Structure 1
Amino acid sequence: MKIGMQTWGSHGDVRPFLALAEGLQAAGHDVTLVITTIDMDAYAQVGAARGVKVVAVGEPIIPADEAAKILRTIYAIKDPMRQVGALMRLMFAPVEDEMFAASRRLCEESDLLIGHHILHPLQVAAEHAGKPYVSVFLSHVSLPTEHAHPLAKLGRTGNRLLWWLTRVMLNRVLLHYPNRLRRQLGMPPARDLLDDVWLATPLALVGVSPAICERRPDWPASVHVCGFLDMPNVEVEGTVPPALDEFLAAGAPPVYMTLGSWMPEDLAAEKETLTLFTAAARLAGCRAIVQSPSAQACGFASDENTLFVTAAPHHLIFPRCAAIVHHGGAGTTQSATLAGKPSIVIAHLNEQEHWASELRRLGIAGKVLKRRSVTARMLADRIAQALATPEMAVKATAVGAAMRKENGVALAVRLIGALETGASQRR
């Protein structure tokens, strides 16, 4: 098949799609992946060596100081729906028309379309073109079930009521985006974001490890938990330089500290974050590796207890660390869990808080910290808790071992291939 794929977001939203695209290409399909991200210039050539055509759309890239202001605005908002609305308005809407044009081009040249579940431009274009469409959920937080809700634990009846309210609010905040595009194509409006847009597909893949995400019996039959869409090192993640290897070997396993794409790039805000990290590590009495794009420019230098790195391949480094401090993004969360390490989560978004609660449910993380209120003392206490709780390390090792037996990409490729088989049989 000629397969068109599209994603939007940060590195954690691109990497799983690169992994799936590579798997589909290796299975004999002709794959084009369209990406839109603040770091799109770093990914444009990534797929070439693997035979995947990668196209970046949505320039200009948001300048670092503007992106930092947007991120601070978003994580300062406490209400989850207002936060989602701000994220879409400030970071998605400005490039929506360019993404929609790319979506329509993909539909013209592809037999099958695969999109990030929030990529409504591709869903609308695929429906209009009459092409089969697969949505990929990189988190299970958006899948309604009477068995759970990310904001509360109210029992089945309470969860159903809360999900009904969630649907109402999501439709109020977000449904006008796909309906604007549908009007352009003369299509009737979608009535429900979840059912008509995010899940309007013959196949919905949940790219989350079954060790973390249990498939709910009330999910539609089209929903499949395929597992973490992982892959070997991506070029933009860097390599393991000698200094990093030497630091790891020079003493007790360190704590790795990263906020991923949520690390601010303007120097004043980045310095504030680095001060938080280094003070917490000192208070906790641990060695630390701190991932930062501009530590030296912020006035920080490595020493025998703290090493600053601009980037590092997490799948090689995390297994050699004692615990991981991170923002609770889907990719970093599952990478830390795959490595068998406890997590300390500093969440910026409701979705990241959901990941933190899932890790706590598994017994491999403590209570979530929130970026808008975290202090060095609070972070140090969470680190000390993780390092001083053997049960947490044992459970993390067990969950990581279970994850390493999975192959999310292979299962996803088989499920997508079954769509082609089914279509051939119907013909």
Structure 2
Amino acid sequence: MKIGLQTWGSHGDIRPMLALAEGLQLAGHEVTLVITCVDSDVYAAVQSAAGVTIRTVASPVIQRDEAAEIGISIVSARDPLRQMALILRRCFQPAEEAMIAAAQQLAAESDLLIGHYFMYPLQVAAERAGKPYVSVLLSHAAVPSAYSHPLRWPRMFNGFLWWLTRTLLHRELAPYVNGLRRRLGMRPVRDVVSEVWLSPYLTLVAVSPQICERQPDWPDAVQLSGFLDMPNMSLEGQLSAALAAFLDAGEAPVYMTLGSWMPQDLPNQRDTLRMLSDAARQAGCRAVIQSPAWEACGFQPDDRIMYVSASPHHLIFPRCAAVLHHGGAGTTQSVTLAGVPHIVIAHISEQEHWANELRRIGVAGKLTRRRSVTASQLAERIALVRSKPEWRIKAAQVARAMVQENGVDAAVRLINRSMEKM
């Protein structure tokens, strides 16, 4: 069959969908993947090993000089709904028209559509074209259940919490979704979560079962596929000779990365680098700190701290004592797969959810929040991780189980099974 996929976001939103596209192509389907990257144009040069047709649209959505101001606004907004509204308004809506056009083209030429759960243009295009649509959730926090809620209140409150959550989410998101639907002559949706984020045809929850348990009251259409992982991509590079020598020269370091949440402007990136470097020195640990402009910020490596602009996570994480990161879905599961403990600096509410899940399964301590974190606080978190061998033991146990999974194969089987029922 001809299958069209569409995704939007940063590397952590794109990589899983590329992995799924590759898996579907290898399974014999003719696959096209449309990518809108918020902060980079690097995917324009990506070639699929399996032969997937890749198109990039409106990438990057935001320019480097906008990124700092947008990031600060989002982190400063304590209300999760305000954070989501800012992300949609500043990072999604500027590319909306281009993504809608790409979605309509994809719907016209495909038998099945698969979209990142934020990708309401594709969901709308699929419905309008009468094509089946599969939603891919990169976090299980979005699936309502009487058995769980991200706030982790007593179970008796979950029904009320989900009613409130869905009501507030709909209030924030419906103007975007229903605005597009009205323009296309379609009826408005009454609940964005159940009618857009969750597909009644098939919703894949792309999270390892080691972190997420399928709840008894999830609809049959909501299935847990596991982490959508893939081999190291060419754009992710290899370990440099200097980094390999640093790793060989002493004890395992703490790797520090804020991913796409590292400030792009030099003043804020310099301040963040100073905080991470001070934390490593106060904790007395060796560290590898990832920053795209560390040289321009005036930092120099030494025998205790190594700075890198980027590094392939699959190759570096297993060689570290712990990973300090922002709590994105992709980084969280990559660190878990590597079998090392986590230290999470959450910038938004979804990242707080991942931090709490990691603490629940015993591979991380209490989260820190970017808006209030200090070098001393991070040094304490690093010292705590180093004093907890049981966290490393548990991390290794979880990783051994996770290695046995294959989220892409599971997702392809679920999609094939759903297509057989068409």
Normalised-by-shorter TM-score class: over 0.9
Question: What is the aligned partner in structure 1 of residue 164 from structure 2?
Answer: 165
Per the TM alignment, residue 355 of structure 1 is displaced from its structure 2 partner at its CA by 0.1
1:144-194 CA-partner distances (Å, limit 9, x unpaired)? 111121124122x30110110001100111111111111122111101011
Q: Secondary structure at the match of 1:141?
A: helix
Question: What is the aligned partner in structure 1 of residue 217 from structure 2?
Answer: 218
**d(CA) in 1 for partners of 2:144, 2:200:** 16
Distance change >3 Å, CA 49–CA 152, structure 1 → 2: closer
Structure 1 letter corresponding to 2:244:
D
Contact (CA 8 Å) 2:39, 2:59: kept in 1 or not? no
CA RMSD in angstroms comes to: 1.0
Per the TM alignment, residue 87 of structure 1 is displaced from its structure 2 partner at its CA by 1.0
Question: What is the aligned partner in structure 2 of residue 105 from structure 1?
Answer: 105
User: What aligned pairs does 1:230-379 form with structure 2 within 5 A after superposition?
Assistant: 230-379=229-378
Find out whether 1:4 has 2:16 as its counterpart.
no
Question: What is the aligned partner in structure 1 of residue 13 from structure 2?
Answer: 13
Contact (CA 8 Å) 2:36, 2:60: kept in 1 or not? no
User: What aligned pairs does 1:48-67 form with structure 2 within 5 A after superposition?
Assistant: 48-59=48-59, 61-67=61-67
Q: TM-score with structure 1 length normalisation? A: 0.97
Structure 2 stretches lacking a partner, 5+ long: none
User: What aligned pairs does 1:27-106 form with structure 2 within 5 A after superposition?
Assistant: 27-59=27-59, 61-106=61-106
**d(CA) in 1 for partners of 2:248, 2:262:** 27
**d(CA) in 1 for partners of 2:59, 2:341:** 37
**d(CA) in 1 for partners of 2:286, 2:60:** 39
Contact (CA 8 Å) 2:262, 2:269: kept in 1 or not? yes
**Runs of 4+ with >4 A deviation:** none
Structure 1 letter corresponding to 2:377:
M
Contact (CA 8 Å) 1:3, 1:29: kept in 2 or not? yes
Distance change >3 Å, CA 50–CA 310, structure 1 → 2: farther
Structure 2 letter corresponding to 1:418:
R
Contact (CA 8 Å) 1:18, 1:47: kept in 2 or not? no
Per the TM alignment, residue 59 of structure 1 is displaced from its structure 2 partner at its CA by 4.3
Structure 1 letter corresponding to 2:263:
P
**d(CA) in 1 for partners of 2:5, 2:379:** 41
**d(CA) in 2 for partners of 1:63, 1:26:** 35
Structure 1 letter corresponding to 2:337:
L
Contact (CA 8 Å) 1:132, 1:201: kept in 2 or not? no
Structure 2 letter corresponding to 1:336:
V
Q: Secondary structure at the match of 2:114?
A: strand
Contact (CA 8 Å) 2:36, 2:58: kept in 1 or not? yes
**d(CA) in 2 for partners of 1:309, 1:219:** 42
Structure 2 letter corresponding to 1:108:
A
**d(CA) in 2 for partners of 1:153, 1:201:** 28
Q: Secondary structure at the match of 1:224?
A: strand
**d(CA) in 2 for partners of 1:251, 1:117:** 43
Q: TM-score with structure 2 length normalisation? A: 0.98
Per the TM alignment, residue 238 of structure 1 is displaced from its structure 2 partner at its CA by 1.5
**d(CA) in 2 for partners of 1:237, 1:60:** 18
**d(CA) in 2 for partners of 1:143, 1:267:** 38
Q: Secondary structure at the match of 1:50?
A: coil
**d(CA) in 1 for partners of 2:400, 2:66:** 41
**d(CA) in 1 for partners of 2:387, 2:62:** 41
Contact (CA 8 Å) 2:39, 2:63: kept in 1 or not? no
Same amino acid, percent of matched pairs: 59
Per the TM alignment, residue 60 of structure 1 is displaced from its structure 2 partner at its CA by 5.6
Contact (CA 8 Å) 1:45, 1:54: kept in 2 or not? no
Distance change >3 Å, CA 39–CA 89, structure 1 → 2: closer
**d(CA) in 2 for partners of 1:164, 1:108:** 36
Structure 1 letter corresponding to 2:258:
L
**d(CA) in 1 for partners of 2:31, 2:353:** 32
Q: Secondary structure at the match of 1:175?
A: helix
Structure 1 stretches lacking a partner, 5+ long: none
